[in-house]
């Protein structure tokens, strides 16, 4: 029986001997000369269009926003001392906020999309070398009025900002319909900027912050006109302080509806009507009126009137609006509000 035991033992040992696989020899991503992000921007600006990079070049930078919270998909933001760029990756994932990376540019594509410089067709496995991780990267502390297309794709932090009062109670985006939503952020000086959030973001169905505080985000824009912010993480919305009055009431005509929100139109003289329009390449619709009927100017008095607004809680309310005129004749004239009431 001893022998049998030995045989069994030997068999069990044999079977338990599993082969360990060795790590195969790997070819590293080539070392190359470096190029800065502003040089990439200049390069694209000078040639225009799509540039398929076949040079031995690399760009270094820190990943400032990743896909973890779902607000962006298959792209990340990369920033160095000279600027920032949107990096579009072939398959989602693999790059995280705080990664210090070298992107090997050969095989990638430099492009501008909706006015934003982007590095396209980046294969995270084959184009990216991670040099370090969890690197602290301080955002640019700035104010809403300082945000311009010049700091495109950079990480910014805004202090003492709040979402406009009439959006409170809404969510950051439409999670059920998976639609992106624009929400207006304001400071206490009447400046505003759009915060755009994807319906796929993990926080899309959260109620927007109702207080005043700080927000860290990526600055962006749409073709140089509409400025936008992208929230990179839900826990970077720190807006729990007391609100300043901010915008009490607004009408943007973005919905392309003249009278939505309780507005009314009163024609005193003539039949000329107010209408919404996007003529002139406006990013969003506006309201317009013209008394030119095609051959003559028709005498017109037509009021576009807001619903009544209770301003009692506010100390010194102000009214502001954008306006423009075309053709000859007197321009904008201000009326004394009190006298109108």
Residues 166-225 that bind other proteins (CB under 8 A): 200, 202-203, 206
Span from 19-27, 178-186, 246-254, 263-271 in contact with other proteins (CB under 8 A)? 19-27
Give the one residue of 45, 114, 133, 278 binding other proteins; rule: CB under 8 A: 133
| Count of residues that bind other proteins according to CB under 8 A | 44
Q: Which residues contact 134 (CB under 8 A, 6 or more apart)?
A: 98
Looking at the Cβ atoms of 13 and 299, the one nearer to other proteins is 13
Asked whether 282 and 323 are in contact (CB, 8 A), the reply is: no
Give the one residue of 40, 124, 195, 209 binding other proteins; rule: CB under 8 A: 124
Span from 118-126, 146-154, 222-230, 326-334 in contact with other proteins (CB under 8 A)? 118-126
Angle value at C-alpha 218, between 213 and 222, nearest 5 degrees: 115
Looking at the Cβ atoms of 166 and 234, the one nearer to other proteins is 234
Give the one residue of 46, 91, 271, 334 binding other proteins; rule: CB under 8 A: 91
Asked whether 80 and 61 are in contact (CB, 8 A), the reply is: yes
Looking at the Cβ atoms of 172 and 253, the one nearer to other proteins is 172
For residue 129, state whether it binds other proteins (rule: CB under 8 A). yes
Q: Distance between CA atoms of 157 and 295, rounded to whole angstroms? A: 53
For residue 26, state whether it binds other proteins (rule: CB under 8 A). yes
For residue 77, state whether it binds other proteins (rule: CB under 8 A). no
For residue 12, state whether it binds other proteins (rule: CB under 8 A). yes
Give the one residue of 60, 106, 112, 130 binding other proteins; rule: CB under 8 A: 130
The residues that bridge with 194 in the sheet, in sequence order, are 184, 228
Ranges assigned E (strand) in 232-298: 237-241, 264-269, 275-277, 286-288
Instruction: Give the residue among 270, 152, 123 at the shortest CA–CA distance from 217.
Output: 152
To which residue do tokens 């070392």 refer? 31
Give the one residue of 6, 11, 178, 305 binding other proteins; rule: CB under 8 A: 11
Q: Quick one: tokens of 277?
A: 């329009």
CB of 140 to other proteins, least distance (A): 23
Extract long-range pairs of 306-312: CB within 8 Å, 24+ residues apart. Answer: 306/249, 306/251, 306/261, 306/262, 306/263, 307/261, 307/262, 307/263, 309/248, 309/249, 311/248
For residue 291, state whether it binds other proteins (rule: CB under 8 A). no
- Summarize as ranges the residues that interact with other proteins (CB under 8 A): 1, 4, 7-8, 11-12, 14-16, 18, 21-27, 29, 67-70, 91-94, 96, 98-99, 124-126, 128-134, 200, 202-203, 206, 234
């Amino acid at each position: 029986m001893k022998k049998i035991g030995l045989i069994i033992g030997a068999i069990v040992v044999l079977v338990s001997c599993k082969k360990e696989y060795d790590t195969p020899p790997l070819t590293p991503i080539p070392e190359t000369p470096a190029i800065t992000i502003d040089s990439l921007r200049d390069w694209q600006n000078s040639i225009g269009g799509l540039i398929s990079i076949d040079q031995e070049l690399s760009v270094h930078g820190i990943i400032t926003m990743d896909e973890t919270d779902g607000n962006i998909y298959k792209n990340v933001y990369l920033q160095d001392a000279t600027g920032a760029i949107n990096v579009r990756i072939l398959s989602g994932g693999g790059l995280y906020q705080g990664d210090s990376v070298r992107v090997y540019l050969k095989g990638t594509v430099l492009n501008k999309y909706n006015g934003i410089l982007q590095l396209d067709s980046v294969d995270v496995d084959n184009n990216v070398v991670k040099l370090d991780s969890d690197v602290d990267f301080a955002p640019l502390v700035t104010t809403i009025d300082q945000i311009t297309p010049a700091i495109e794709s950079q990480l910014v932090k805004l202090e003492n900002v709040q979402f406009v009062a009439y959006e409170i109670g809404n969510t950051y985006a439409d999670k059920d319909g998976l639609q992106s939503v624009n929400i207006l952020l304001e400071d206490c000086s009447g400046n505003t900027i759009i915060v755009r959030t994807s319906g796929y973001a993990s926080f899309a169905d959260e109620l927007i912050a109702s207080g005043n505080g700080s927000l860290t985000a990526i600055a962006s824009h749409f073709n140089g006109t509409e400025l936008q912010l992208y929230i990179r993480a839900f826990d970077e919305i720190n807006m729990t302080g007391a609100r300043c009055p901010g915008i009490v009431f607004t009408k943007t005509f973005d919905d392309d509806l003249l009278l939505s929100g309780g507005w009314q139109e009163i024609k005193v003289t003539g039949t000329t009507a107010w209408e919404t329009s996007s003529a002139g390449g406006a990013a969003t619709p506006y309201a317009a009126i013209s008394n030119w009927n095609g051959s003559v100017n028709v005498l017109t008095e037509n009021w576009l009137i807001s619903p009544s607004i209770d301003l009692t809680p506010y100390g010194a309310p102000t009214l502001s609006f954008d306006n423009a005129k075309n053709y000859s004749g007197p321009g904008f004239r201000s009326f004394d509000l009190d006298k109108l009431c």
